[in-house]
Amino acid sequence: MQVIFDGVMDMRNELLRLFGMLIIGVVVLSATQEALALSNNEKIALAKSAAPDFISKNATVLDEDGKLLSQGNNDWVCSPGLPPKYENPMCNDPVWQALMKALNAKKPFSTDTLGFSYMLQGDAPIDNDDPYNTDQTTGAWIKEGPHIMIVGPKGSVDKIPSSFKSGAPYVMFRGTDYEHIMLQISR
């Protein structure tokens, strides 16, 4: 009988030890998630770092979900990028804002004028050919350093290559409504 009792007590102690480890893991995970979250001031600073100060200091800043973080007084809109890493802050002029709205909604886009976007902190990995591809085992993936993007009327990118390997200007998303020129600043 004592052997059974000792066995039950050993199981109980092991379960208590495992439960304690589980609780500690949950607390650490929660603390880590909180530590990864950026404050609004940190998001504003990160968003404004995407463009030169003469543009970003008066730009409106929107959170990744479109929530207003800071009202500006020029036509530029900056965002801190997408969580959890926030590795793709950008500042967009009105034409580029329209392109992003169409891209996110998977709607057609066209323009009869040039549009500009700054990403001076670089970008998250992205497929150069397909804006909706999330499978990094297919496509032509690049993690671009600081760059400027230019969109223009249909046909304006026809003579520019799509290869990003040389460091020269290249076309991203060729053949889609969202095709644009990438001007690398550094790698």
pTM, full prediction: 0.79
pLDDT at 37: 87
Per-domain residue ranges for the chain? 1-36, 41-184
126-176 confidence digits (pLDDT tens): 999 999 999 999 999 999 999 999 999 999 999 999 989 888 999 999 999
For residue 155, which phi and psi values (nearest 5 degrees)?
Answer: 90, -15
- CA–CA distance from 125 to each of 15, 22, 133, 139, 156 (Å)? 43, 34, 11, 12, 25
* DSSP per-residue letters across 47-80: HHTTS-HHHHTT-EEE-TTS-EEE--SSS-EEE-
